[in-house]
Amino acid sequence: MPELPEVETIKNDLRPRLEGRRITSVSILWPRMVLGSSPEDILLRLTGRTIEEVDRRGKYLVLRLNGGELLLLHMRMTGSLLLRDTLDAGPERYVTAVLGLDNGRELLFCDRRKLGTIALARDESALDGKLGPEPFEPRFTPDVLRERLTRRKGPIKSVLCNQKFIAGIGNMYADEALFLAGIHPKRPAGGLTDAEVAKLHAAIRTVLETGIGNGGATFSDYRRPDGARGEQQNAFYVAHRGGETCKICSTPIKRIPLNGRGTYFCPACQAASTCS
């Protein structure tokens, strides 16, 4: 699933290629991907609009359009956005939507499982109620993280994956942050010490920055807009490494189910003695 580093990579790749471009055509090939309106409404409201800014909020790619509206793209489990030249284009698999641009290029939304969504919003309030703070915001400090964890009884891994708690972190980077902080994924979130919260705050930012620097992680479907794979999967310590040995202590990485998610951790580096 594309998480913050993957969507940030897509944003960075698309910014110089989409900003200032006018949308000349819209094709919705999977009507159920449209939220809050209809494919016909999306076509009517998007055609002829100019993309003024490419941004990100949590796991959403946000295209700011002239006139003030936002086009929100959420790639969910298996979505990717590919940019290609129309005249040179061959067949592409799993295409659910296509935006034609005034320079002869196309932005393709490809999604094998067809879970990704597209929506038009009037302003930022469409996302504000759904998402917690951004991990890189200056106001997201260790004190803020500590305050938000207070009275949280659920496992820390599940809390980190809750988009209303903090925006952009999913399964892979939650596992990596907890490993770097030395915290077992089943620890009750509200029971972390001040020192552990400080380590976790630093670890969250470190693993996300590393993921962005490596262009995101590709295990199956995720691709950058030019079709290239990400490289972060080669740098993971625990995520998707069940049965392999820990890069720090050589203990086999363990995989457990946790609230419906496959969760990876090192039993030695992430002590379980304080788990409930």
Helices 171-181 and 194-213, axial angle in degrees (round to 10):
130
252 is a catalytic site residue: no
**Residue of 3, 8, 106, 196 marked catalytic:** 3
Q: Give dist(CA 222, CA 176) in Å, integer.
A: 18
2 is a catalytic site residue: yes
Q: Which one, of 240, 183, 231, lies nearest residue 211 by Cα?
A: 231
209 is a catalytic site residue: no
**Residue of 56, 59, 146, 254 marked catalytic:** 59
261 is a catalytic site residue: yes
Q: Give dist(CA 67, CA 69) in Å, integer.
A: 6
**Residue of 76, 114, 255, 261 marked catalytic:** 261
Q: Residue 121 class from Cβ within 10 Å (0-12 exposed, 13-18 middle, 19+ buried)?
A: middle
Contact 135, 56 (CB under 8 A): no
Contact 49, 22 (CB under 8 A): yes
Helices 194-213 and 142-149, axial angle in degrees (round to 10):
120
Catalytic residues: 2-3, 59, 261
